[in-house]
Amino acid sequence: MKICAMVVVLAALAASANAAVVHDESVDGDLSSSAAAPTPLAFALGGNTVIGTTTSGDRDFLTFTIAPNQVLSGLNLLVYTPNNLGFAAFNAGTTSYVPSGTTNAFFLAGIHVEGADQGTDILPRFVDRSVTTYALDEPQLGPGDYSFIIQQLSPIIQSYSLEFVVEGIVSTESSTWGAIKALYK
């Protein structure tokens, strides 16, 4: 029995330690600057790191899908330099915030990103520090398509590294998951 328990523990660590760079602008090119056509990125279970720079005139838009039985459970801001106020936001769907009556409903939450956030999971800030009309109810996103923007409107080069953490759903409480899922419909 002890051996079985050890195997389970090791498997859990391996899953959480599974991290990969899914887009590095210095290698893969600049992320889309178009809210209507974000760069599509494929996220896997574990950490999905996006490395880039943003500045005045270079907003970075990406879109990703959370598969069934998975959640986006964290957004680790690994690097954010220099310390200057920026902005980041989530939208539902494969396009980001395009101001119009039809897209307002897809806007989920937006925050100001600051230097003190470096080294922390900023997903909870979309719950308690949203600067927009809407905020997330929970620090996670369930299955579905999403878009994300990070922008620095000042004429400085803002470097960032973001780790999108995707986890499998292990809860057996289907009633709880149903309630969570309903928030993102």
Task: Note whether 24 binds Ca ion by CB under 5 A.
Answer: no
Q: How far is the CB of 52 from Ca ion (least distance, A)?
A: 5
Q: 28 or 167: whose CB is closer to Ca ion?
A: 28
Kindly state the DSSP code that residue 123 receives in the 8-state scheme. Answer: T
The terminus-to-terminus CA distance of the chain in angstroms comes to 42
Q: Which tokens in the block code for residue 10?
A: 């090791």
Q: Candidates 30-38, 77-85, 89-97, 125-133 — which segment interacts with Ca ion by CB under 5 A?
A: 30-38
Task: Tell me the closest approach of the beta carbon of residue 158 to Ca ion, in angstroms.
Answer: 9
User: Structure tokens of 92?
Assistant: 């539902």
The residue (of 90 and 184) whose beta carbon lies closer to Ca ion is 90
Residue 177, amino acid:
W
Residue 60 binds to Ca ion (criterion: CB under 5 A):
yes
Residue closer to Ca ion, measured from CB, 57 or 68 = 57
Min dist CB 87 to Ca ion, Å, is 14
Q: Is 86 in the site for Ca ion (CB under 5 A)?
A: no
Q: Which residues does residue 107 pair with via DSSP β-bridges, in sequence order?
A: 91
Q: Could you say which of 24, 30, 128, 137 contacts Ca ion (CB under 5 A)? A: 30
Q: What are phi and psi of 35, to 5 degrees?
A: -60, -30
Q: Which stretch binds Ca ion (CB under 5 A): 15-23, 28-36, 42-50, 61-69?
A: 28-36
144, 143, 178, 145: which is closest to 69 by C-alpha?
Answer: 143
Q: Which amino acid is located at 176 in the chain?
A: T
The number of residues that bind Ca ion (CB under 5 A) is: 4
Per CB under 5 A, the list member of 52, 110, 139, 142 interacting with Ca ion is 52
Residue whose CB is nearest to Ca ion in the complex, by number: 60
DSSP symbols for 26-81: HHH-PPB--TTSPEE----SEEEEEEEEEBTTB-EEEEEEEPTTEEEEEEEEEEEE
Contact positions toward Ca ion, by CB under 5 A? 30, 52, 58, 60
